[in-house]
A and B are shown apart, each in its own frame.
Chain A
Amino acid sequence: MSRIKEKLMRLISYIRKSVKPQSIQMTITVSFTIVSTVCMGMLGVSLYSNFVNRMEDTMSQNMEQLLDQTAINLETYLKSMRRISDAMYYSAIKDKNLATDTLDEEMNLLYEANKGNLISIACYTNSGRLVAAAPVATEKENIDIVNQEWFTEAVGQMENIHFSTPHVQNLFDNTSYRYYWVVSLSQAVELTSNGNSTLGVLLVDMNYSSIEQLLNKANTDASSEYVYLMDGDGEIIYHPKQKLLYTNLYEENNLEAVNYEDGSIKEEFHGEKRLVSVKTISYTGWKIVSVAPMSNFNVGMADLRLVVILFVSLAMLMIIVLNQLVSARIAKPLQKLNESVREWESGNMNPDIYMGGSLEVEHLGRTLRSTVEQLQQLMNDIVVEQEEKRRSELDALQSQINPHFLYNTLDSIVWMIEGERYDDAVFMITQLASLFRISLSRGRTIISIEDEIKHARNYMNIQKRRYKDSFSVEFHIEEEILNCCTVKLIVQPLLENAIYYGVEGMDGDGEIEITGYRRENDVYIEVKDNGFGMPENMVEALLVENNRVRKKGSGVGLINVHNRIRLRFGSPYGLEIESRLDEGTTVRIHLPYIPYSAQTVENLEAGHMEQIKGEDADGEE
């Protein structure tokens, strides 16, 4: 048992291994075809076997019906023959005194009434002497009546009426050379002569042709089915090929069939399978047999088989074609989609993604198309961003060493030295040195707010000297935010703008206030001036990309600062500007609250803002 199981498992695994993954269409077609083939095959076989059984039943029923009908006809015929014999005996022979009366009149009457079926009626004494006969005929000379079979049978069993097998009548001389085949019906009778009873035999010779005609009716069918008749010992009485049987040109299985019970049975005779039905005729014990060769049945079956094969094949053909169509309909959109993906894979970044087919496939196509588009957009954004970053960095680099500012400052210093204001000159140079140190910051982009503010202070100190304290500067920076990260050089350009556009021409009334504070996780640094302010539309235009105005100053616009903050910390951050005409302008730097450490600086330098946010979240938890 386990060995069989093992073998089965091995077979299954072998099949699994040998069945390689196929295309969807192939898989659908093959599996549909296999399933439909099996179903159609089973349907065909069951239909066929059903038909075969029914036909076999019908055939044997028909045979038995035919047999019953023939048997009824034959029985009726034989009964009427027996009646003739009985009528002759009971209404004529028994009543007559043969010494005085003759039987001729009654006998002739009976004969004439049944002429069609009879050859002769005759009555013999037990010594074989003819008492009477109809029709009147000359007896043959030297014939041995008492040894003829019908006579011995009648005398042997006196109570019965005996039916012989067909034989040639050998009683009367017929000068027209006619010999008649007859079936003899004989019975022992009591002959009375002057009160003395003697034994006699009454013989009714039935015309064999009548029986033959009766049975021929059952054999008119052109098929090879036939009916034959035999007596209780299996001797043939009637057969459609009787003469062939007599001359040994044909053989019949009668000696075997005589032992069959009534009903249908299958037999094999001379290598031929046949369906045989047997019916026993009452009284005589004769058996009427119907024979149908199975080949006969098979010829009809062959047609049916062909019809079934034709039907199944047509159905299969239709199913295969239909399978192909359906599978193509299902698989084609997927294939097209797959081809689109292949095209994409092969490097075409803007493939024409197929959208069609069934709802699901269409949805897939649509999703894929939008994904591709998004991806494309993202990639374009990345390119733009990178470009922007590069440009911003360059701008920042430029702002590190603004030649104009440097020139002005150095010019101021020269003036101070020439005016022998050496302390001022020293202060200016010290501030300038500090400014450049922070500007460079060893090449880093991220510095602490403390350094940034220091840088701003240096810058303002220098500018204040240059502008001869024509405006005031105030710093209000919360301690808490000093140790936070910021992009470097973002305050200085704002101060520069505040000076150039805000307080430059205000004749000593100018005020610039720098405020730094924290709100939850955000850090704000405001640069507020009380200058001329600007109209609202101008405020809006300040942070728009294409509106770079370089009139004065370092040329590093607000937009540059804004972009740099957003590139580093993300879009929520950057600059906010509030301005009112004649009241002043406030530019607010919005930064995330990120404590300054070597790790965070490194991450921010690498552009991994996400990571820092995650850490923040973890830290808060």
Chain B
Amino acid sequence: MAKSRFYFGLLVLVFVGIIAWTSYEMNNNEKQEESYRISVIVNNSNSDRWISLRLGLEQAARDCNVNINYVSTGILADVEEETAIINRELENGAEGIIVQMVSSEEGALKFGGAAVPALMLLESDVKPENLYALSGPDNIEIGRAVADAVKKDFGYELEGKKIGILTGNDKMLSIQQRLKGLTESLADTQADIVWQLSCEQTKDGGAKELTDQMEQVDIVAALENDETEKMTDYMLNYTEPAQDEDSGQNIALYGVGCSEKVVYYLDRGLIDTLVVPNEFNLGYQSMQEVVNQLKYHLDRANDSKVDFLVVDQNNLYDKENQKVLFPIVQ
């Protein structure tokens, strides 16, 4: 009798257990998938060069159920300003930050005591390196790719060719790496690097400076989107059309960039070769990594590398290239 009572109790217990479990599961299922708030901070956020990146970020945000806050910024002066923005975003409840640092040299980011659940650096690392997760192209390879394009067009010796380099923001490690890649690759040629200008030197009244320098070079390599745009503006305004072979000034421009403007001038033939990092992937992958870090509570997001395209006038409209180069904008 006691035994049968025990079995009866056991059976009831089993069913009560099953009922409890199913109720719990049903309530759990009803819960929406977690949604994250992630802020994206880039220099001069409204610049055309970020269109692809934004598309990538937004696609990833849709796929991963993320509330994205693409912070509207002007041209950022220094890391302090940027850090202030990051702190403000954290105070406003951002769980993850994706940031393009304007300088790599001022050491680790300083946050006002707020812990960042997930942080991802875009394009450029800070020193000391590998402190935070980084998503970006292989900058040394980009530098080399520019050099290779020059070599391809002018012969591998580059004898007597004078080269000017527009580095852009040389406080950034990425620019330093591109420069390193470029100069190392050019070192075994007989090319002469005549000058090297950073964005500090070319901003505002920089056109005048450029004019002074431009006289001396045959080839200009611009390592950043803004510098490439600046150079095209200069070429349109201050030099004769490039196709005029006989005129004294015939500068070949090799640039790095991804805005529609630089693509347009590549199409127009003003830029000889353009190295285009895959910014869509940059945005998509960095967002995914930050979400992964939040979702799986990782100490650090994984680094991710994106590829880049080397495009000239001939292969601009190649089926595969146009898919990467031209964003589908409604």
Question: A residues engaging B (CB < 8 A)?
Answer: 22-23, 25-26, 29, 33, 140, 167-168, 170, 173-174, 177-179, 181, 208-209, 212-213, 241-244, 246-247, 249, 299, 302-303, 306-307, 309-310, 313-314, 316-317, 320-321, 324
Tell me if B56 counts as interface (CB < 8 A to partner A): yes
CB <8 Å contact, B23 and A244: no
Tell me if B281 counts as interface (CB < 8 A to partner A): yes
- The 7 residue pairs across chains A and B that have the minimum distance between CB atoms: A246-B323, A177-B264, A310-B22, A177-B260, A209-B330, A317-B15, A313-B18
B231-269 near A? 1/0 per residue, CB < 8 Å: 000000000000000000000000000011101100110
A209, A247, A249 — which one has the most chain B CB atoms within 10 A of its CB?
Answer: A247
CB <8 Å contact, B12 and A313: no
CB <8 Å contact, A310 and B264: no
B143-155 near A? 1/0 per residue, CB < 8 Å: 0000000000000
Given contacts A33-B11, A179-B263, A321-B12, contact A23 B4 (CB under 8 A): yes
Given contacts A181-B328, A307-B26, contact A314 B19 (CB under 8 A): yes
Q: Which of B10-45 contact A (CB under 8 A)?
A: 11-12, 15-16, 18-19, 22-23, 25-26, 29
Q: How far is the CB of B264 from chain A (nearest CB, A)?
A: 4
CB <8 Å contact, A324 and B8: yes
Tell me if B322 counts as interface (CB < 8 A to partner A): yes
Among candidates A29, A209, A247, A314, residue contacting B4 with C-beta atoms closer than 8 Å: A29
Complex Cα–Cα for A314 and B16 (A): 8
Given contacts A243-B280, A316-B15, contact A306 B330 (CB under 8 A): no
CB <8 Å contact, B326 and A247: no
CB <8 Å contact, B4 and A243: no
Q: How far is the CB of B272 from chain A (nearest CB, A)?
A: 15
CB <8 Å contact, B16 and A317: yes
CB <8 Å contact, A247 and B26: no
CB <8 Å contact, B15 and A249: no
A-B contact pairs, 14 of them (CB 8 A): A22-B4, A140-B267, A167-B317, A168-B325, A177-B261, A179-B263, A181-B328, A213-B330, A247-B323, A249-B281, A249-B285, A303-B29, A310-B23, A320-B8
Q: Which B residue's beta carbon lies closest to that of A175?
A: B264
Q: Which B residue's beta carbon lies closest to that of A210?
A: B330
| Chain B contact surface mostly | helix
Interface residues on B, range: 35 or more
Among candidates B4, B19, B56, B259, residue contacting A317 with C-beta atoms closer than 8 Å: B19
CB <8 Å contact, A247 and B22: no
Tell me if B1 counts as interface (CB < 8 A to partner A): yes
Complex Cα–Cα for A302 and B267 (A): 54
Complex Cα–Cα for A22 and B4 (A): 10
Q: Which A residue's beta carbon lies closest to that of B1?
A: A23
Q: Which B residue's beta carbon lies closest to that of A178?
A: B260
Residues on B with beta carbons closer than 8 Å to the beta carbon of A173? 268
Among candidates B8, B26, B259, B267, residue contacting A303 with C-beta atoms closer than 8 Å: B26
Tell me if B132 counts as interface (CB < 8 A to partner A): no
Q: How far is the CB of B64 from chain A (nearest CB, A)?
A: 13
Residues on A with beta carbons closer than 8 Å to the beta carbon of B325? 168
Among candidates B1, B11, B19, B23, residue contacting A320 with C-beta atoms closer than 8 Å: B11
Q: How far is the CB of B61 from chain A (nearest CB, A)?
A: 13
B271-295 near A? 1/0 per residue, CB < 8 Å: 0000000101100110000000000
Q: Which of B196-255 contact A (CB under 8 A)?
A: none
Complex Cα–Cα for A494 and B149 (A): 160
Among candidates B268, B319, B330, residue contacting A212 with C-beta atoms closer than 8 Å: B330
Residues on B with beta carbons closer than 8 Å to the beta carbon of A178? 260
CB <8 Å contact, B12 and A306: no
Tell me if B59 counts as interface (CB < 8 A to partner A): yes
Complex Cα–Cα for A179 and B266 (A): 13
CB <8 Å contact, B22 and A309: yes
Q: How far is the CB of A3 from chain B (nearest CB, A)?
A: 36
CB <8 Å contact, B319 and A167: yes
Residues on B with beta carbons closer than 8 Å to the beta carbon of A168? 317, 322, 325-326
CB <8 Å contact, B12 and A317: yes
Q: Which A residue's beta carbon lies closest to that of B328?
A: A181
Q: Which B residue's beta carbon lies closest to that of A302?
A: B29
Q: How far is the CB of B162 from chain A (nearest CB, A)?
A: 28
Tell me if B194 counts as interface (CB < 8 A to partner A): no
Tell me if B191 counts as interface (CB < 8 A to partner A): no
Residues on A with beta carbons closer than 8 Å to the beta carbon of B310? none
CB <8 Å contact, A246 and B11: no
Residues on B with beta carbons closer than 8 Å to the beta carbon of A29? 4, 8
CB <8 Å contact, B324 and A246: yes
Q: How far is the CB of B292 from chain A (nearest CB, A)?
A: 14
CB <8 Å contact, A243 and B59: yes
Complex Cα–Cα for A347 and B72 (A): 101
Q: How far is the CB of B282 from chain A (nearest CB, A)?
A: 10
A140, A307, A313 — which one has the most chain B CB atoms within 10 A of its CB?
Answer: A313
Complex Cα–Cα for A552 and B5 (A): 77
CB <8 Å contact, B12 and A247: no
Among candidates B11, B25, B267, B281, residue contacting A247 with C-beta atoms closer than 8 Å: B281
Residues on A with beta carbons closer than 8 Å to the beta carbon of B260? 177-179
CB <8 Å contact, A181 and B26: no
Given contacts A302-B29, A320-B12, A324-B8, contact A181 B22 (CB under 8 A): no
Tell me if B76 counts as interface (CB < 8 A to partner A): no
Complex Cα–Cα for A314 and B330 (A): 55
Complex Cα–Cα for A307 and B26 (A): 8
Tell me if B55 counts as interface (CB < 8 A to partner A): yes
Residues on B with beta carbons closer than 8 Å to the beta carbon of A33? 11
CB <8 Å contact, B59 and A244: yes
CB <8 Å contact, B25 and A306: yes
Q: How far is the CB of A203 from chain B (nearest CB, A)?
A: 16
